Amino acid sequence: MSTLRSQLARRIGLPLKALAKRESTGRIVDDLDKGQWLAPEQLRALREKRLRRLLVEVGRDVPFYREQIRRLGADPQGDDPFEILRGLPTINKKMYRELGVALRSESPRRRPIVAHTSGTTGERLEVRVDPDAAAYRYLAGFRGRSWWGIEPGDSEYKIWGSGIRTATGAAELAYKVVRRMKDWAIGITLVSPFFQKREDVDEAARLLMRKKPKLVFGYANSIHLLAAHMVRNGLRAGPGWPKAVGYTAEMLMDWQREDIARAFGAPLFAEYGSCEAGVMAFQCPQGSMHTSDDIMILETLPTPGCADGLGGVVVTDLMATTYPLIRYQQGDLARLGSETCTCGRGLGRLFDLTGRMNERFASRSGGIIDFIVFDQAMKEQDAIRCFKVVERGPGDIVFLAELHAGREWNLADRERFVKQCLSLLPADVALSVQVADHLPSEPSGKFRIMIAASDAARYL
């Protein structure tokens, strides 16, 4: 690492001291380090203590929870906090949005970190995150990476939606470029996941071979496209890099894993997280997806059509007291277990995660039509509440939008949206947009974005 880069890394790359002024970064790191090795009864005691603190604070300062706890007739100081938690309502995206300020502390100590997601369910949402909770989440990601020998400051090649190509207006573009410089300062090479044509993958592979990153991380499908390209062209990473390849927990088929192993010659790990909740589970070298039990509580709710403990994932962030996230429905299905893992960590385990959106369509020429294209363009469209991408035929796509009540999707915004999407989609894709009164969930209860031609008749 160059001197300049290490200086920058200290100055702007790791702004965690700013994130967590009251609790030093070092303390949080120690805390997380200890948390993973706690014995079951110690872990339970820690969770109880943290949950009680959360309930006491939200019961005092957050209007929605003050009312809910009063309705339960519960006393967060004295009663079993786990039981109180079970009595609180689950919150979905729609409620989170509609409750707005009622979900925020009336006496916030600091300003929140604000993020936008349309995420994997196609509904746009502004999420406010407690700075303390954000620091815990961020560093929980580092904890997981450390299981694979990745150290802070190790160079990373990240295939992720940067948004630069969809930025509008000089100010927004400038902001995104600054963010990208920050990524550079902490050793992240950001690569667009929009591989529209062969040359894009070629360029990505060349960059990888030049950068020799310690960690390759990104969307499972994009990593696989890159790996398959490398295998076809006789390219192979290493020796000595990367230490590991990480992907966001989507489905990867065995043949895809084989391509990745051949191209990178490094272990492959999965991370399960979301914009709203951060890292919820991380895979250990023994293969378990360990849940971040010391800083959050995951539950699965009984879901129609699901058996054997499979249910909708609901998350409570134990560290977020000012902008709480309590019993938030992630919209994914999984099973939870507490069977111990041979790695010795006391953290629980997540199994059979399904429901992540990794569906894609192909254009006539074989180009990729990926939901993340629409996800990116959506971030600048305030009027849209949720959307579906319907395949009318090969390369013939209809974007169906449901709008917020009383809002209109004006012509200029529509045209900008279509232009942005087309700039990221293969050249032979035809895209039209329609506004729908109401977009229903699937029979499974999961709101799916990508609707293949075989189901298109239900929507068009």
| Residue ranges in contact with Zn ion by CB under 5 A | 284, 286, 288, 341, 343, 345
Residue 275 CB burial class (10 angstroms; 0-12, 13-18, ≥19): middle
Q: Is 315 helix (H, G, I), strand (E, B) or coil?
A: strand
Residue with Cβ nearer Zn ion (231 or 343): 343
3-state secondary structure 57-68: HHHHHCHHHHHH
Residues present in the chain in total: 460
User: What is the residue-wise DSSP string for 335-382?
Assistant: EEE----TT-----EEEEEE-----EEE-TTS-EEEHHHHHHHHTT-T
Q: Cβ of residue 283: shortest distance to Zn ion, in angstroms?
A: 8
Residue with Cβ nearer Zn ion (288 or 363): 288
Single-letter residue type at 252:
L
Residue with Cβ nearer Zn ion (231 or 341): 341
Residue with Cβ nearer Zn ion (337 or 445): 337
Q: Cβ of residue 142: shortest distance to Zn ion, in angstroms?
A: 17
Q: How far apart are CA 310 and CA 272, in angstroms?
A: 16
Residue with Cβ nearer Zn ion (150 or 390): 150
Q: Cβ of residue 342: shortest distance to Zn ion, in angstroms?
A: 7
User: What is the residue-wise DSSP string for 72-122?
Assistant: HT--TTTS-HHHHHHHSPPB-HHHHHHHGGGGS-SS-SSPPEEEEE-TTTT
Residue 379 CB burial class (10 angstroms; 0-12, 13-18, ≥19): middle
Q: What are phi and psi of 257, to 5 degrees?
A: -60, -40
Among 265, 322, 302, which Cα is nearest to 133's? 322
Q: Cβ of residue 246: shortest distance to Zn ion, in angstroms?
A: 16
Residue with Cβ nearer Zn ion (279 or 389): 279
Residue with Cβ nearer Zn ion (143 or 224): 143
Q: Cβ of residue 270: shortest distance to Zn ion, in angstroms?
A: 13
Q: Cβ of residue 338: shortest distance to Zn ion, in angstroms?
A: 12
Q: Cβ of residue 70: shortest distance to Zn ion, in angstroms?
A: 41
